Every structure is written in structure tokens, then in C-alpha cells.
Structure 1
Amino acid sequence: MKARFHLPGIYTHFKFNMIFATVLEQFPQYFRDIEIASVYGAFPQSIWNGGRTQEGLCDKHYVKMVLKAFNDKGIPVRFTFTNPALEKKHLNDKFCNMVLSLANNGLNEVIVVSPLLEDYIRSNYPGFKLTSSTCKRLDDAERLSAELEKDYSIVVVDYDLNNKFDILEKLPHKDKCEFLVNSNCRPACPDRAQHYYNVGVQQINYANHIRKYPDKPYDPIVFGDGKNQNCPFFTRNIFDVRELSTNIKPGDIWDKYLPMGFNQFKIEGRTAWLFNLIETYVYYMAKPEFADKARYTLIDFCNANDVITVNE
């Protein structure tokens, strides 16, 4: 059974994810038995976006280019439309509806948390597969099992349940379960749901601001929605994250999760530094004996494609 990895950054890491897909095609011997299940994220101005505030600007032509680039390789784009702060007035957002109209080809997907937005997408864009988001905080076996019985293609398991194999082995529809392998959030964080809501409010304020004042910097503190800025866990490095009880080790994916019937894994990193992301991809997806070659090849391809510049 292949391990299916969902990778971060349709916009923030577009070039790097295209490079990774190319390296995976050209040097499959460097990697474990994996496939790219999707690249997830949102385009700037997406007021429906959640989980991480997406900054920037882009137009219709850029959206079409990114969709075509990934889809031509058979890679679904999965939109993080997980803003829990949405109201009915936001459903008619022109930019988000434009994005879904362009992506409505039966391949691409949407991650949802708001029942309001989920019903709207099911009614207006029934061709999209829907993923139930980890933002729902389904952190007990009963609620998670009930969610797996619903009409979702994938349900993201709350990462507080990672490595709790006594619970995981009893879950139904294991093929629908997705695990966030490298969350930097502290285990059993009591503020996680509120943080997701705060990010949603900030995304709405940012999208409204940047559309009116594209040349004026956005300051979340001024707008009163910078409530997550002081969370110390946002700054964990990749080695700190690996020590958390919720972290999933690469060996466990192949030795425990896949034999149990789980094959969907999500890598966090929409706002990650490029070298952090390279190291994380190599850690999870390269064969240990080829890790150095995979890392060097990724850096070399990035340098050749002006993603980074390495001085001679």
C-alpha cells in the first residue's frame, strides 16, 4: 500500500511543490513507496480560507496557471476553505466562487469546517470531493467514528489521537482517515479551537483590507485580530516538533499505520521556511539511505529554477 501525502502550499510553495513532483518523477529510487495525494492551501484574497492566514494578491490568470500545472501532473488541488468565522454574506464572495468555478473539473477538492459553507459548496459545486477538517476538534473516538460515517472523502483525525493505537484500531473506514504528521501545536491545547476562529476573523479582515487598499500594509494588531501572535508554539523548529507526543515518525507510517489500513498523511507547512520544508519532505518521504541525495537534488533543482540562490 502506498503512503499518500498531502503537501502544503498551492500558493506559498507552488514552485517548490512542482519541483518536488518533478524530482519524484525523475528519481523515484530516492523515495519510499509514496504518491502526492494533493497539494493544499488557498490563493490570496480567499476569504473562506482558514487554519493559517493567507496573505498576498493574485489574479484569475495566476489561479488558472497553478491549477493547470498541478492538474496536468494528476495532482489534485485541495482548498483549505476552513474558516469557522464565516457568515451567510460571505458565501457570495466573487473571488472564492471564481476559484471554485475554475477548479470544478472533478479532480480538485475542498476541506471544510463550516456547515454553512459546506452546504453551499454541496449545492453549487457538487463535483468537489469534501474533506472534514481537523479544525472541528473531533478528539474522541465516538465523534470521530460518527464523522467517518458521513459523506466525506476524507476525515482529518484530530492530532491528539495520533499514536493512540488502541483507539485508532477500532475506527471504521480507515482508508478515509488522514493524519497530520508534524503539527507544532502543543498536545491537548485548550486554545486550539479559539485560535482557528481568530485566524478566520483575521483572514476576513485581511481579504477585505487588501481588496480596498492593495498598496497599504495590513497590521493585524491595528485591526484587533492579532490574538494568536504571541503563541510560543508557532516558533517550534522541526526537531522540537519531532519530540511531541502527537508527532508521527516516518518508520511508524510503514510499520504501524499502513499495516492497519491507514494511508493518508498530511504534512504541515504552509508558512514554513523553504529549507524547513525540504528537510521535512526528505524526513518523511525519502528512503533513509538516499536522504542526502534526495536533499541535495531538491536544493539543486531549486537553485536551477531560481527558487533559491546558492552562491558558488
Structure 2
Amino acid sequence: MRARFHLPDFAGHFKFNVVFAELLEKRPEYFREGVEIASVYGVFPPSIWNGGRTQGGVCNKNFINTVIKTFNGRGIPLRFTFTNPMLEKKHLNDDFCNMVMHLADNGLNEVIVMSPLLEDYIRKNYPNYKITSSTCKRITDAEQLCSEVEKDYHIVVIDYDVNHDFETLEKIPDKKKCELLVNACCNPNCPMRSEHYKAIGLQQIAYSNHVRKYPNAPFDTKKLVAEHPEIQKFADCPCSQRSLFDIVKLKNHISPDEIWGKYIPMGFEQFKLEGRTLETLNLLEHYMYYMIKPECKDQARFEFLNWLVANDVIQILE
């Protein structure tokens, strides 16, 4: 039995995920049966190809090399969220994204794609990368989903509105190739989700261009909204900051009992945790909930928190 988890944000949650990988290695008795870290996904900001969540900040080459070496040294792939749906041909030659791709081009690392334009570019120029089909494509039709799984992808991330559509899930020809997003924060069947992805893509492009031209100046979101007013309607979306205790109430949520009692017996073994923009303690609860045995949560949480403090991931106020 394997439960292969894809964890959020190798850059912003770098130390957090390294410490968690250490916990899995040194305290395997705390973990549910078969838990593995299949990858840590995200981007190094300011990646113009990024999608799904706007990622701010700037990473230098030394940090990028450190992250690659640290996770790859443990046998854990980095999986780049290059899912921006608003890319144009001119963006393919972006210096920063291509530098990152060159630095991580060792046959272990992976890329998540949405845009056919970028997918073709990566397949041609970086053939060593394993390619994942993104949930951002919003494929919910059973026939289209099965067709997507049969294509040349390493993994297909299923739209989370299909999470409990067992008639569709049963039809999938290769379930081990499919990844289920178990803790989706978005409202089920949200009619605006695809438009939200596009707005995020526009914001990421604007931010990345700004950092390139004005590295020391703050990013003006008001100017961006003036140029793209469609972005404003997503500015106050509360979904991305929902806690675990909010998410478990959503009908597209998959519980740990369902993972081990239903989905793994069906043949699924790939599970994604959202959380690139979550605060540390919120993310910690997701990890405890999904990957730690219920009877070990308190002890694992206590030990993990102590390790996070020791590694300056969180600070205790005195």
C-alpha cells in the first residue's frame, strides 16, 4: 500500500518541508501506512510561468541551488507549477524560468502544465522533465478525463469536483497515474474558478515583469486592477485562507479515512495537499490530519513544532 503525497511550496515553505521530511525519516511510527513524499511543488519567485496562486518575492541563484540540492538529495522531486493560462509566445524565453529549468534539469524533477504553448516548449527544450497535467484544466467530463489519462503525462491531477463522482473515477484506466486534490479550499462547483485562474495568471505576469524592471520598487496592484478590472472581483476571495476545520465541511473534501478505506483500495495512490499560501500553523494541521496516525497526532505535533522552532521556522514569544 502506497499513499504518495505531493506537498506545497518548496520555496516559501522550504524549511517547513525539510523538517517534515526529517520527521518522516526519523519517526516513521507516527505516520499512517504507506505515506511517502512524492514531490514538493511550487515555484521560485518571480516565475512568470507560475499559475494557480500568485507567488511574490524573489529567489536568488544560491537559494535555488540549495533547495534543489536539499530535496533532490533526499530523493524528493521538485514539481514546478508552471500552469499560467495567460502565457504568450514572448513569455517562453523568460530568462528566470529558463535558468531554473536548466538548474533543475537532472531527470528527477517535474513540471505541472496547463498551457499547450508552454507544454510544447518544455517537451522540446527540457525532455528530461516528467510532465503533469494540471487540475487547472478543469476536466470534469468522464470521457475527456479518461482521454487525458491516456496521453503522455506522468500524472494527471483530477479536478476536485470529481472527487466523489465514483462512477467517473471507476472508469479511469490507470488510477495510479491520477492525483486527487484532497483538501481543496475552493467552493465546490465554483462557476468562477477558470476565470480566477486567468486573473491570477495576469497578476503573476504583471508582478514578474515589474520585478524585472523595478527590482527595488513596490508592486502597484491598483495600477494592475485599473488595466485589468476583472482581477478586482477576485481580490477578496476568502477561500484560499480557509483553515482545515473549514475545509473538512466542504463536499469535495476527501478525509484520511476515505483515502485509506476507499481510494487506495480503488487503485489511487497519488494525493495532493493544497497550501502554498497557508500560514505555518494552518499548514501544520493539514499535515497532521492527513499523514499522521490519529493516536500519534499530539506527540507528532509537539515534536514537529519543537523542530520547527529549532530551525527558526516559527518563533516562540517570550
For Structure 1 versus Structure 2, the TM-score category normalised by the shorter chain is: over 0.9
RMSD: 1.0
Counterparts of 1:296-307 in structure 2, within 5 Å, are 296-307=302-313
User: Which deviations, in whole Å up to 9, do the C-alpha atoms of 1:95-128 show, x marking residues without a partner?
Assistant: 1001001111010000000000000000000000
- Runs of 4+ residues deviating >6 angstroms: none
- What is the SS of the residue equivalent to 2:171? coil
SS at match of 1:169: helix
The total of aligned residue pairs comes to 312
1:123-202 equivalences in 2 (<5 Å): 123-202=124-203
- Which residue in 1 is equivalent to 2:210? 209
**CA distance in structure 2 between the aligned counterparts of 1:179 and 1:220, rounded to whole angstroms:** 33
SS in 2 for 1:79: strand
Cα separation, 2, equivalents of 1:269 and 1:232:
14
In structure 2, stretches of 5+ residues that fail to align are: none
- Aligned residue for 1:47? 48
* Equivalent-residue separation in structure 1 for 2:98 and 2:116 (angstroms): 17
Q: Alignment partner for residue 268 of structure 2, among 262, 265, 268? A: 262
Which amino acid is the alignment partner of residue 106 of structure 2?
A: N
Aligned residue number for residue 2 of structure 1: 2
Number of the residue aligned with 2:298: 292
1:91 maps to: 92
CA–CA distance in 1 between the matches of 2:240 and 2:53?
11
Q: In 1, Cα distance between the equivalents of 2:144 and 2:87?
A: 23
Q: In structure 1, the residue corresponding to 2:222 is in which secondary structure?
A: coil
2:62 counterpart SS class: helix
1:2 CA displacement: 1.1
- Picking from 234, 243, 258, the partner of 2:240 is 234
Residue among 224, 227, 243 paired with 2:249 = 243
2:27 corresponds to which residue? 27
Distance 2:261 2:112 in 1: 28
Matched, 1:79 2:80: yes
Rounded to whole Å, the distance in 1 between the matches of 2:166 and 2:28 is 31
Q: Distance in 2 between matches of 1:260 and 1:254?
A: 10
Q: CA deviation at 1:221?
A: 2.8
Distance in 2 between residues matched to 1:117 and 1:96, nearest whole Å: 11
Deviations 1:128-166 (A, max 9, x none): 000000000001211111100100000000000002212
Q: Residues 210-259 of structure 1: CA distance to partner in whole angstroms, max 9, x if unpaired?
A: 12212211132321154321223234222111111100000100000000
Query: Hey, what's the Cα distance between the residues in 2 that align with 1:173 and 1:68?
Result: 32
CA deviation after TM superposition for structure 1 residue 30, in Å = 0.3
Per-residue CA deviations over 1:168-226 (Å, capped at 9, x if unaligned) read 11211101110111111011111100100110010000000012212211132321154
Instruction: Tell me the distance in 2 between the aligned counterparts of 1:236 and 1:39.
Output: 21
- Which residues of structure 1 form unaligned runs of 5+? none
Q: What TM-score, normalized to structure 2? A: 0.96
Q: After the TM superposition, which of the residue ranges 57-66 and 32-41 deviates more from structure 2? A: 57-66
Secondary structure of the residue aligned to 1:105 is: coil
Deviation, 1:298, is: 1.0
User: In 1, Cα distance between the equivalents of 2:70 and 2:241?
Assistant: 32
Q: Match of 1:15, as an amino acid?
A: K
Matched position secondary structure for 1:194:
helix
Residue of structure 2 equivalent to 1:105: 106
Structure 1 residue 218 and structure 2 residue 224: aligned? no
- Once residues 53 and 206 of structure 2 are traced to their aligned partners in structure 1, the CA distance between those partners, rounded to angstroms, is 13
Deviates more, 1:216-225 or 1:257-266: 216-225
1:254-281 Cα distance to aligned partner (Å, 9 max, x none): 0000000000000000000000011100
CA distance in 2, matches of 1:240, 1:267: 15
- CA–CA distance in 2 between the matches of 1:167 and 1:144? 9
Secondary structure of 1:221's aligned partner: helix
Q: Distance in 2 between matches of 1:236 and 1:20?
A: 22
Task: Work out the CA distance in 2 between the residues paired with 1:184 and 1:219.
Answer: 27
Distance 1:152 1:64 in 2: 26
Instruction: Compute the TM-score of the two structures, normalised by the length of structure 1.
Output: 0.98
Separation of aligned partners in 1, 2:236 and 2:259: 33
Amino acid at match of 2:315: T
Aligned pair 1:282/2:283, yes or no? no
- Matched residue SS, 1:291: helix
